[in-house]
Every structure is written in structure tokens, then in C-alpha cells.
Amino acid sequence: MFARTTALAIATLAAFDDAAAQTVNQPPDTMAARVEACTPCHGNQGEGTSDVYFPRLAGKPAGYLYNQLLAFKNGRRKYPPMNYLLEFLPDPYLQQMADYFADQHPPLPPVTASDASKEVLQHGQSLVSRGDPQRQIPACGSCHGPTLTGMEPGIPGLLGLRPSYISAQLGAWRYGTRTAKAPDCMQQVAARLTEEDVTAVAAWLASRPAPVNIAPAPKGTYVLPFACGSEPD
């Protein structure tokens, strides 16, 4: 009897010891540790890296980031290394990843001098702030906001992105490799842009200095010119 209880006690102690040892020898129970698979490409705080095609994530609206993660998971937006990583992750977890990067606020990168000509930059500025009514191109700012910092929950800001990334994304919409929730308003916009338009808006956007407040406007601050599936009313 005695021997049995002692044995049991020792066994329990050992089990306890095991459990303690396990919690010590565990990765930190944080989102930062869980997104270490993302940070070599997106930066430790989602600030971006030197690769011009790897976008900044920090501070973008959480709803927008979540929509992108869903789009990659389900193949509506294609970049095989990311499609692969996200394939078997549950949606609530993707929401947490989105929240995590939306909450990071590293400074925007310094603006790099543009090698685009003055005419090109002017054309870009005009499309972004006024659009081209004749070609039915709405001003980018009518959706992305007067200060181009976007709006909660689904419209991203357009500052702090590099020209190659912007061109690649507009191209992806035109070729159908990036699609957003229907109605895909960005697709309708991108379809009306020519190669020259794309180069011009990309160059001008990338030449903008960071505004004082880069936070996206609250939901419903302004009305969109037409409906976007990513931004339900």
C-alpha cells in the first residue's frame, strides 16, 4: 500500500516536472512568434523589406489585410509562396494575423527620389486627385481617401508603397490574377487604365511624403463613387 502511494506520488511529481519543463521549453505564446514565417519578407513589424515587390503590412486596415489573407488562402489572389503558407490556417487565426499587423506602427519609409519626368508625375497626380471623367476613371482619392490613407474596414491607403509593387498590383487586376470580393471595384478601375496611366500613378504615389497621421479614416467617413465588395456599407 505504502509502496504504491509513494510510487504514485513520484509518478505525479515526475509528471508535474514534465509539464513545467515543457512550458519553459516552448516558443513565446505571442503573435509575434507565430508570424515569424512572414517577417523575413514583410519585416519584423510589417514595415516591408528591401525587396520592392514585398509590401508593407503595418497599419493597414485590419479588414483589408484579412480580405487579402482570405484571397490568398482561397486562390483569388496569387503568389504561390503565400498561397501555400495559408492553405490550412483557420479563418479566425487569419483575422488575428491581420489584427496583429494592423496594430503595428513603424514609421513609413523615407521617400526615394523618382526618376519619372515632370509630365509623368503630373499625369499621375491628376488621375489620383481628379480621375478622368471622359474615360470614366474615378479619382483614386474618391475611394482611397482625400489624404490617400484609406478607410476602415476594407480600403487600404496608397502611401508607403513602392512603384513596382503598385504597378504589379494594378497589372494583376487587369490580367485577372488578383481579384477582390464581388463587386470587384478595383478591377473595374484597373481595367480602364493604360500602361502609361499605371506608370504615372505608381510614380506619383510613391513620391508622396508621409502625412502626419497615416491612420485610415473610420468606417463611413465618405461615400464611395460605386460599390466595392471589400467595403460593405
Partner 1 sequence: MRSWSRLLALGLLLFTGPSAEAQPKLGPDGDSLVARGEYLARAGDCIACHTAPEGRIFAGGRAMPTPFGTLYSSNITSDRDTGIGKWTAEDFYKAMHYGRFPDGGLMYPAMPFASYTKVTRTDTDAIFAYLKSIPPVNQRNREHDLRFPYSNRQLILGWRTLYFSEGEFKPDPTKSAEWNRGAYLVEGLGHCGMCHSPINALGGTSQSEAFKGGLIPMQNWYAPSLTSNREAGLGDWSIKDITDLLQTGVSMRGVVYGPMAEVVHNSLQYLNDEDTRAMAVYLKSIAEPSPPPPASSRLPTAESSLLISLGKTVYDKHCANCHGTQGEGKPPHWPPLANNQSIEMQSAVNPIRMVLNGGYPPGTKGNPMPYGMPPFAGLLSDNEIAAVVSYIRTAWGNRGTPVSAREANELRSAPLN
Closer of 27 and 110 to ligand HEC (Cβ)? 27
Confirm or reject binding of residue 88 to partner 1 (CB under 8 A): yes
Q: Which does 167 bind (CB under 5 to 8 A by kind): ligand HEC, partner 1, none?
A: none
Give, in order, the Cα–Cα distances in Å from 40 to each of 51, 71, 104, 108.
Answer: 10, 21, 16, 18
Of 81, 78, 97, 101, residue with least CA distance to 89: 97
Burial of 226 (0-12, 13-18, 19+ CB in 10 A): exposed
Instruction: State the nearest-atom distance from the C-beta of 110 to ligand HEC, in Å.
Output: 19
Confirm or reject binding of residue 215 to partner 1 (CB under 8 A): no
Rg (CA), the chain: 23
Confirm or reject binding of residue 183 to partner 1 (CB under 8 A): no
Confirm or reject binding of residue 222 to partner 1 (CB under 8 A): no
Any bridge partners for residue 218, and if so which? none
Of 154, 157, 155, residue with least CA distance to 166: 157
Closer of 41 and 52 to partner 1 (Cβ)? 41
Q: Which does 74 bind (CB under 5 to 8 A by kind): ligand HEC, partner 1, none?
A: partner 1
Confirm or reject binding of residue 90 to partner 1 (CB under 8 A): yes
